Amino acid sequence: MFGIFDDTTFPHIYVTLDTIENDDDFIIFCETWKSYDEKRQNYTFIFDARNVGYIPVKYAYKMSGFISKLKQQKVKENNVFLEKSIIISNKWYVNSLLYLIFSLVKPVAPVYLVNNSEKANQLLKQLNLNSSFYDDDSVTFFTN
């Protein structure tokens, strides 16, 4: 299973990422992601990618296509409620895939990349207080 979603603290949804075994893993991940928009409430993803193994580059292209469709859906139907994502990653390969994805397509909502859970928790608290000011050394990808 590529992504395990924990929504017990909704609107904060913690997603533990692992290795993608096959296309079905990716499809299930995307379907689960989209299911949160059906609640019609704003939410935040906190992705933990520290245990991700090798991911074929084709999934970066598939993810950019998925994000592109979400952006189109947001414009046409205004029914994408993702406010922001925080990604915890300390692996150069995962970070490289993220840079590739976001060079192909801007994110649906702001994405913050940090290297440990303490920084993620601090950032989440700061962003909840004020979304435009935070003291942090994250890499940030903004929407256009």
> In the chain, where are the structural domains located?
3-141
| Residue 137 confidence (pLDDT) | 66
Looking at CATH, the fold of the domain delimited by 3-141 is given as Transcription Regulator spoIIAA (3.30.750)
Dihedral sign from CA coordinates of 63, 68, 71, 73: negative
The per-residue pLDDT string of the chain (144 residues; one tens digit each, 9 = 90 and over) reads 799 999 999 999 999 999 898 999 999 999 999 999 999 999 999 999 999 988 999 999 999 999 999 999 999 999 999 999 999 999 999 999 999 999 999 999 999 999 999 999 999 988 887 766 666 666 676 665
| Residue 126 confidence (pLDDT) | 87
Cut 0.85: pTM above it:
yes
Here the contacts of 20-27 (C-beta below 8 Å, separation 24 or greater) are: 20/55, 20/56, 20/59, 25/1, 26/2, 26/59, 26/62
| Residue 1 confidence (pLDDT) | 77
